[in-house]
Structure 1
Amino acid sequence: MVPLLLGVAAIFLGATAQNVSVLQQTLSAHGVAAVYPTDKDFKTVSKAFNERYTFSPIAVAFPTSVAQVSAAVAAGAAQNLEVVARSGGHSYIANGLGGRNGALVVDMSKLKAITVRPANNTAIIETGNRLGDVALALNSKGRAIPHGTCSYVGIGGHSGYGGFGFTSRAWGLTLDTVKSATVVLANGTVVQASSSANPDLFFAIRGASPSFGIVTSIEVQTFPAPPSAIVFQYTWNNLDIKTASNGIASFQTFAATNIPPEFGAELVFTSGDQKGRVNFGLTGAWYGDANLLNSTLAPYLKTLPKNPSSTTITPGSYINSVAVLAAPMALNTSSAPDDPNTFYTKSLMTPSGAPMSNGAITSFVTYMANQGFSSDTDWFVEVELYGGTNSAINAVPLDSAAFAKRDTLFTIQFYASSSNGDPPYPKDGFSFLDGMVASIIDNSPSNWNYGAYLNYIDDRLANAAKLYYGSHYQRLQSIKAALDPKDTFRFPVGVA
């Protein structure tokens, strides 16, 4: 039996070596620079942002043009390799490295052009850009788009799965601004996708993009950068369970009032200094008339303890608000390297039509206050306000794009890292977050129509297709079969 196994191993190793050799020759023939496992800088270029993962791609290619992206995809497809794009590299499960060994990574970092077009207030953004650099480039022309606060996140993955930020209640998700895109398909063909050209592909890339192609650039509708912005941050340390629970319940009630779309906010929870307590934060931004912030926020603040542990109000320009919310990271991402972490993340999208019950909220806060205090992880929870009255996110017709949760009130991110941010990740960190999410779901109706958010992707999630892609999954499977029959763009939790 051993000789047979050795023979199989020799065949496999021979095939692998041949694949690398052929791949190298093909990429080189098209002028595509790449780094291979035998190269000295391979370890650096194949390092995951989430250090829970250590994957070894067959190669990391660095194309400098759409034609080179096409050549790289065709070269990988010819050998039946898994091909994945890497924009900023912030995939929570290292899907930018393939989510497993042996993928051909097409790193987009050399494609960084941004062209603002004043004639129609659109911009063409290549997907090698990161959010901070996009914000700076658009702001220099007096424009902006909705996006998240982490400046090092790549615009490719961000816009392909969602793209929430504090301007989203006014402007929608990042993917809602996309008017067209240049896409490299699994056979290397370069196509345009819009409402009039390849509409099925256009549908798919706005909510499930990585499964269908490599988007090399997006055309986005931009917005005038607000003339001013105010970032507000309140913290109440060591709240008891009843008070913190009331803070969530009253936030749901507040969201149902006529709050302006220029208001964006989230609740932030961390461990208190003693068991049974949590730190409770309110962070947000206001993009309307500065004189109206206090009257807008006052009804909610009246439901919270009168004296916060800390209060920071930061008025200024729009781009200053982006910088404040991104801190301590710089907006110019070339100024310093990205900082990795070792973590696990889950998400829960709560339906607008069925907010969390008081029982679910109390169970959730009780879990954070007790199990959260004894956890050996460094954790936080963000309860992000997607919906409420006047939300642009919820105003978009559900079936206009693949993004599947237009009835969302809150998107909750549950995040736990190793205590020092370095490997290894504690094994009980998984059950800790699983239990936190379950504290809400188990105390909600059995038919509660909750979902999960792909930009906080979890490769351990049960029933992932339904929670991530909802009612759109069958249509996405049909489009996938037509455009990528060999499943070249395959990775954990993708459309298959």
Structure 2
Amino acid sequence: MLPKTLCFLTLACTIVSITICSAQNASELKGQLALQGIPALIQGDSGYTAASQPYNLRYTVEPIAIAYPTTSEQISTVVIVGASQKLNVVARSGGHSYIANGLGGTNGSLVVDLSQMKNITVNPVTGHAMIEPGNRLGDVALALNDAGRGLPHGRCTYVGIGGHSGFGGWGFASRMWGMTLDNIISATVVLSNGSIVTASEGSNPELYWAIRGSSASFGIVSSLEFRTHPVPSSATAYNFTWQMDIPTASAAFSAFQSWALNGSSVPPEFGGEIKFLKGQAYGQVELSFFGNYFGPDAKFNETIAPFFERLPTPDFANVTQGTWIEALAAIAVGNLNTSTHLDSNDTFYAKSLMAPEDVPLTNESMTTLVTYLAEVGFNSSDFWHVEVELYGGSRSVINQVGLNNTAFAHRNALFTFQPYASSPNLLPPYPKNGFSFVDGMVESLISGMPNDWQWSAYPNYVDDRLPDWRRRYYGAHYDRLRVLKAELDPTDMFRFPTSIEE
């Protein structure tokens, strides 16, 4: 239950709502927000088309308005205005949702765009960082590095910290420091009644549990307090690639799994993945192995040796050793300073599969996937890849967190697969056979596993074509999330295609 002090906040919201009850359309909605000093865009405004464009151009979504608050209090006002019109309200941090959830996923949502909320402060004593959700991952990395601190997070620099930390947040430092959400100490959250609350272990602990794994269904997070870490004294960025036929690539895949399962081989400071791409000829794939290592420089070759002794000589190799921030920049997708270039778009379909550590992949499963990619994948005109991200191993911090400590329901993954295919020119329309092609990647992997294999899916690689998404994304936590949803958002204001249903 929420503390009784929220009643006073609710009363204050009621007073505000008296001034907005007449707002019944987009123009009046914009006017009501303007009266509170909150700019907004609606259809017909200059800038609306660009602002409503999703990252994945496979979608076309038309929000009723896109509001740009700068404080928690302004977010509260937007929420109250939205409630007065019975609108669904959604938060957008970086806007990189694969299915346009940050725009509501369907037409008519009131979007709370958090891009103007970019403060980052680091406490020099505790090392804790207060980060507003308008920040992108690259800018977070730079700001924290200036204070000698770091967070585990992904390498795509334009992704917003809000959604990234709200549903997971895997990166090459995660086996060492956990997921991004594992480092959240507290958050300021605006609830559906406009109340502004703190979520932490000591304040609204059930909400604190929920925002670390399913954040956007319960409120709009206006700031996050993170536990940060001293940056390592040295860091390595590495990238190796091979052209391989089916038997060689299948054996390499098997060697990667064996190495990952060998607890003595892979220290928590090691982060990486293998990645399959289209080969140069039918029956071949390109295999890439890349990531970051945050241990002593001299230990890097020793660490990868048990894996590499089972591989042919790479066709390409690049190993860069330097500082923490240099290693992040070397492996990043995009500039760390996101103000230097505009964000990009794509037209794609992606899925995910989290493979449990206690039931490793069979040789049949790995070979079937590689064969599918080398044959069906070679004949595809799409740009595609399958990333196989290393989560587990006996020394991984990710899997040392208790399953019920957060709403993130995946503490037994060895790998997370991300099959991904873009349209041939990265622009609409998306080819119909692209869906079956990507679905086939997952089906080929599953086909070689036992019928009762308990694979799951990663919420940040969200797929609105996944029929049993509630179980795959949230597992046994879904029922607990539904109970809290009914309590905190009884009118289902914060809804989108894969939100928790009350």
Q: Distance in 1 between matches of 2:434 and 2:425?
A: 13
- 2:332 paired with 1:326: yes
Instruction: Map Cα deviations across residues 268-296 of structure 1 (whole Å, 9 max, x no partner).
Output: 11011111110011002110111111111
- 2:213 paired with 1:220: no
Q: Which amino acid aligns with 2:377?
A: G
Q: CA deviation at 1:252?
A: 1.1
* Large movers: runs of 4+ above 2 Å: 16-19
Q: Aligned with 2:164: secondary structure?
A: helix
Select which of 476, 482, 486 maps to 1:477.
482
Pairs within 5 Å for 1:203-218: 203-218=209-224
Q: Which amino acid aligns with 1:266?
A: E
Q: Distance in 2 between matches of 1:22 and 1:232?
A: 54
Q: Can you give the 5+ residue segments of structure 1 that lack an aligned partner in the other structure?
A: 1-15
CA spacing shift, 1:222–1:17, aligned 2, 3 Å = closer
Instruction: Map Cα deviations across residues 422-466 of structure 1 (whole Å, 9 max, x no partner).
Output: 111111000000011011112211211110001110010110000
- 2:95 paired with 1:114: no
Pairs within 5 Å for 1:39-438: 39-237=45-243, 239-257=244-262, 258=264, 259-305=266-312, 307-327=313-333, 329-438=334-443
The answer to whether the 8 Å contact 1:414/1:433 transfers is yes
Q: CA deviation at 1:228?
A: 1.4
Instruction: Map Cα deviations across residues 217-266 of structure 1 (whole Å, 9 max, x no partner).
Output: 110000001111111111001x1111111111111111122121001110
Q: Which amino acid aligns with 1:462?
A: P
Q: Distance in 2 between matches of 1:444 and 1:485?
A: 41
Q: Aligned with 2:181: secondary structure?
A: helix
- The corresponding residue for 1:468 is 473
* Higher deviation after alignment, 198-207 or 26-35: 26-35
Q: CA deviation at 1:17?
A: 9.0
Q: Aligned with 2:466: secondary structure?
A: coil
Q: Distance in 2 between matches of 1:18 and 1:158?
A: 34
Q: Distance in 2 between matches of 1:256 and 1:442?
A: 22
- 2:30 paired with 1:31: no
Q: Which amino acid aligns with 2:144?
A: L
Q: Distance in 2 between matches of 1:62 and 1:284?
A: 36
Q: CA deviation at 1:26?
A: 2.4
Q: Aligned with 2:226: secondary structure?
A: strand
The answer to whether the 8 Å contact 1:270/1:381 transfers is yes
The answer to whether the 8 Å contact 1:453/1:468 transfers is yes
Q: Which amino acid aligns with 2:128?
A: T
Q: Aligned with 1:206: secondary structure?
A: helix
Q: Distance in 2 between matches of 1:113 and 1:422?
A: 34
Q: Which amino acid aligns with 1:399?
A: N
- The corresponding residue for 1:452 is 457
Instruction: Map Cα deviations across residues 107-130 of structure 1 (whole Å, 9 max, x no partner).
Output: 001100001002111100000100
Q: Can you give the 5+ residue segments of structure 2 that lack an aligned partner in the other structure?
A: 1-21
- Tell me the C-alpha RMSD between the 2 structures: 1.3
Instruction: Map Cα deviations across residues 173-216 of structure 1 (whole Å, 9 max, x no partner).
Output: 00000010000011111000001110110111000001111111
Q: Aligned with 2:299: secondary structure?
A: helix
The answer to whether the 8 Å contact 2:292/2:328 transfers is no
Q: Distance in 2 between matches of 1:242 and 1:476?
A: 45
Instruction: Map Cα deviations across residues 301-345 of structure 1 (whole Å, 9 max, x no partner).
Output: 01111x211000111110011111114x11111111001111110
Q: Aligned with 2:305: secondary structure?
A: helix
Q: Size of the alignment, in residue pairs? A: 479
Q: CA deviation at 1:77?
A: 1.6
Q: Aligned with 2:337: secondary structure?
A: coil
Q: Normalising by structure 2, what TM-score? A: 0.94
Q: Which amino acid aligns with 1:339?
A: S
Q: CA deviation at 1:142?
A: 0.2
Q: Aligned with 1:372: secondary structure?
A: coil
- 2:45 paired with 1:20: no
Q: Distance in 1 between matches of 2:137 and 2:331?
A: 12
Q: Aligned with 2:352: secondary structure?
A: strand
Q: Aligned with 1:411: secondary structure?
A: strand
Q: Distance in 2 between matches of 1:355 and 1:209?
A: 31
The answer to whether the 8 Å contact 1:248/1:361 transfers is yes
- The corresponding residue for 1:5 is none
Q: Which amino acid aligns with 1:378?
A: F
The answer to whether the 8 Å contact 2:30/2:41 transfers is no
Percent identity of equivalent pairs: 53
The answer to whether the 8 Å contact 1:183/1:190 transfers is yes
Q: CA deviation at 1:382?
A: 0.6
Q: Which amino acid aligns with 2:152?
A: P
* Higher deviation after alignment, 443-452 or 169-178: 443-452
The answer to whether the 8 Å contact 1:376/1:426 transfers is no
The answer to whether the 8 Å contact 2:23/2:29 transfers is no
Q: Aligned with 1:127: secondary structure?
A: coil
Q: CA deviation at 1:361?
A: 0.7
Q: Distance in 1 between matches of 2:219 and 2:250?
A: 43
